[in-house]
Structure 1
Amino acid sequence: MKVKILGCYAATPRTITNPTSQVLEIKNKMFLIDCGEGTQVQLRKHKIKFSQIEHVFISHLHGDHFFGLIGLISTFMLLGREKDLHIYGPKGIKEAILLLLKLGNAYTSYNLFFHELTSKESEVIFEDEKVRVTTIPLKHRVYTNGYLFEEINKERKLNINAILNYDIDKVYYNKIKYGGDITLEDGRVIPNSELSFDPEVAKSYAFCSDTIYDEEIVPIIKNVTVLYHESTFLETESHLAEKTMHTTAKQAANIAKLAEVKNLLLGHYSTRYGNIELFRTEANEIFDTVLLADDGLEFEF
């Protein structure tokens, strides 16, 4: 599981920082999470192929989280994209994007599917044989969701030594991977537990950006491998966090502790701070495994 940070600063883009956008690679699938201004430039800079992006998840309709989307959609069109593109986000995102395309008399050459969200309860919005995506309702100035990405590990690991010992043909390997017992020619039934090992522990990634401190999300993100949580402010500006409905590094660390996550990844920093290490220092007072997002960094778990 890899996370590539394209941008992780709050509010406005600068020459040295970018607003929120990141790419999650999980089970060989690529998901774009938020699409702040400049996202397509960052994708090019970090050599991420546009064709690999088939699903885009937008947390909310504040500009620093989706103003880059119309540009990305338009570039896909200019490059002759044929693959479908699925966009998940708050109700209104379809109207906003299609209006801009209409006014520019520019329509996509590929299928564009919008999955608009309105529920204030957690819900599964995407699932295939490898990955499940669930919303994390957040509390911000507008309707906002975080997203929980979970691996689906159904395949068991083959115990090759045992399989060879029983002289089992390769045509049965797939059956073993999915939990099946094997009947030998002499009638003996070999239980799957002798022929395979349990699957790897499934990894998970929770993206929580732009929210007040809210312990209601803890049950949803319990025990995740990585929690990305906004930390716009330090405790010295907690009054601003409350006023703007954001979170401090200390508060994010407390959520990580309550949820017993494995790793806390901080981001969405206010640009008022000259040194983001201050966020790690503050969070470490409560939670040990603290990582700092920064533009261009990649984390592998």
Structure 2
Amino acid sequence: MEKFELHILGCGSALPTTRHFPTSQVVNLRDKLFMIDCGEGAQLQFRKSRLKFSRLNHIFISHLHGDHCFGLPGLISTLNLLGRTAELHIYSPVGLEEQMGPMLAFFNRQMTYQVVFHAFDTNVSTLIYEDRSLTVTTLPLRHRMPCCGFLFAEKPSPNHIVREMVDFYQVPVYELNRIKNGADYVTPEGEVVPNSRLTTPADPPRRYAYCSDTVYMPSLAEALQGVDLLFHEATFAEADAPRARETFHTTAVQAAMLARDAGVGRLLIGHYSARYEDESCLLGEATAIFPHTQLASENLCVQV
């Protein structure tokens, strides 16, 4: 199975603590790196996670609160110091390019590479990135400012060739791509060899969903149905539910209810409020509703 990993660089919320860094994650799909949010210290955590800057070409920013994007200037500057030449693509709600432009012009007057900004509408679900193996789609969320989550969906892979059967039927090399993609093989004598005899099914495509920051949105369950791994913010415990509503955040119980209703494989919770010295209370509340829940922590690597 191809590599599909999630690296947690930071899982705290807006107020700094000595326990957690602000929000940032990296998806590693087949050694191509995709960053989600970039709070302060993200580049330091990137190093600690032993990830390679040269493999990072796309950054997705959920919204323009500082704890999700204040790490961008430092990261962009570091890439410049390293002599990067490849374009860096940043996807965000409208407004980031306007904020970052003057800062980059002042601090990075001699850029060795181009930063390309892509603004998206946070009110509708939109395909914002696609390559041969992956799509990234926005998930509209409800926060105090325009905000989206992201759904990373692996594309289906071709079937696996059964070498012994291909050799037995003396299948020409030029037929293999068709067979991988589901075609039967017709021998020179006219015999139809079913595809199921020549191939084995590929591994099912995997999906990872990121939802932070947002109020509890039961309607998200449809878009998240059956994802393999869901990261959902769980800023507050249930005792602080009024504060969660006031600040447009979610409790651990609500995150677990969404995971249960969406039938996801596993739930990862994070974006912890600074008020909690020990997040085990959040884990306890979540696992009571959705047992397959795990706490996010810095430099944690999770297989999707």
Mapping for residues 55-204 of structure 1, pairs under 5 Å: 55-104=58-107, 106-204=109-207
For 2:210, the equivalent position in structure 1 comes to: 207
Aligned partners of 2:108 and 2:91: how far apart in 1? Answer: 24
Task: Give how far 1:171 is off.
Answer: 4.5
For 1:233, the equivalent position in structure 2 comes to: 236
* Residue 243 in structure 1 maps to residue 246 in structure 2: yes
After superposition, what is the alpha-carbon deviation per residue over 1:16-58, rounded to whole angstroms, capped at 9, x for unaligned?
Answer: 3200001111244211010000011111122211011011000
* Residue 254 in structure 1 maps to residue 257 in structure 2: yes
* Residue 32 in structure 1 maps to residue 35 in structure 2: yes
AA aligned opposite 2:263 = E
Pairing partner for 1:285 from 263, 288, 291: 288
Are the counterparts in 1 of residues 182 and 195 from structure 2 also a CA contact under 8 Å?
A: yes
Which 10-residue stretch deviates more, 24-33 or 34-43? 24-33
- The alignment partner of 1:214 has SS state of coil
Are the counterparts in 2 of residues 27 and 151 from structure 1 also a CA contact under 8 Å?
A: no
The Cα RMSD (Å) is 1.5
* Residue 20 in structure 1 maps to residue 23 in structure 2: yes
Are the counterparts in 2 of residues 284 and 290 from structure 1 also a CA contact under 8 Å?
A: yes
Are the counterparts in 1 of residues 122 and 147 from structure 2 also a CA contact under 8 Å?
A: no
Aligned partners of 1:16 and 1:106: how far apart in 2? Answer: 35
Cα gap change, 1:107 to 1:90, in 2 (>3 Å): farther
Task: Give how far 1:161 is off.
Answer: 3.2
- The alignment partner of 1:218 has SS state of helix
Task: Give how far 1:188 is off.
Answer: 2.5
Task: Give how far 1:105 is off.
Answer: 5.5
Aligned partners of 1:107 and 1:126: how far apart in 2? Answer: 28
AA aligned opposite 1:256 = A
AA aligned opposite 1:11 = A
Are the counterparts in 1 of residues 125 and 137 from structure 2 also a CA contact under 8 Å?
A: yes
After superposition, what is the alpha-carbon deviation per residue over 1:262-297, rounded to whole angstroms, capped at 9, x for unaligned?
Answer: 100000011211111211110012111001100111
Are the counterparts in 2 of residues 101 and 107 from structure 1 also a CA contact under 8 Å?
A: no
Structure 2 unmatched ranges of 5 or more = none
AA aligned opposite 2:76 = I
* Residue 275 in structure 1 maps to residue 278 in structure 2: yes
Are the counterparts in 2 of residues 36 and 64 from structure 1 also a CA contact under 8 Å?
A: yes
Structure 1 unmatched ranges of 5 or more = none
Aligned partners of 1:113 and 1:178: how far apart in 2? Answer: 35
Cα gap change, 1:294 to 1:13, in 2 (>3 Å): same
After superposition, what is the alpha-carbon deviation per residue over 1:153-199, rounded to whole angstroms, capped at 9, x for unaligned?
Answer: 13112223322321324453333222233232333332323211222
Are the counterparts in 1 of residues 16 and 274 from structure 2 also a CA contact under 8 Å?
A: no
Aligned partners of 1:154 and 1:2: how far apart in 2? Answer: 17
- The alignment partner of 1:87 has SS state of strand
AA aligned opposite 2:63 = H
Aligned partners of 1:201 and 1:105: how far apart in 2? Answer: 44
Are the counterparts in 1 of residues 235 and 271 from structure 2 also a CA contact under 8 Å?
A: yes
Identity of aligned residues (%): 43
Which 10-residue stretch deviates more, 88-97 or 111-120? 111-120
Q: TM-score, normalised by structure 2?
A: 0.94
Task: Give how far 1:119 is off.
Answer: 4.1
Are the counterparts in 2 of residues 13 and 37 from structure 1 also a CA contact under 8 Å?
A: no
AA aligned opposite 1:295 = E
- The alignment partner of 1:271 has SS state of coil
Are the counterparts in 1 of residues 133 and 154 from structure 2 also a CA contact under 8 Å?
A: yes
Aligned partners of 1:259 and 1:21: how far apart in 2? Answer: 24
Aligned partners of 2:52 and 2:93: how far apart in 1? Answer: 26
Are the counterparts in 1 of residues 122 and 146 from structure 2 also a CA contact under 8 Å?
A: no
- The alignment partner of 1:243 has SS state of helix
Divergent runs of 4+, >6 A: none
Are the counterparts in 1 of residues 93 and 122 from structure 2 also a CA contact under 8 Å?
A: no
**Equivalent pairs, count:** 301
- The alignment partner of 1:59 has SS state of coil
Aligned partners of 1:82 and 1:134: how far apart in 2? Answer: 27
Q: TM-score, normalised by structure 1?
A: 0.95
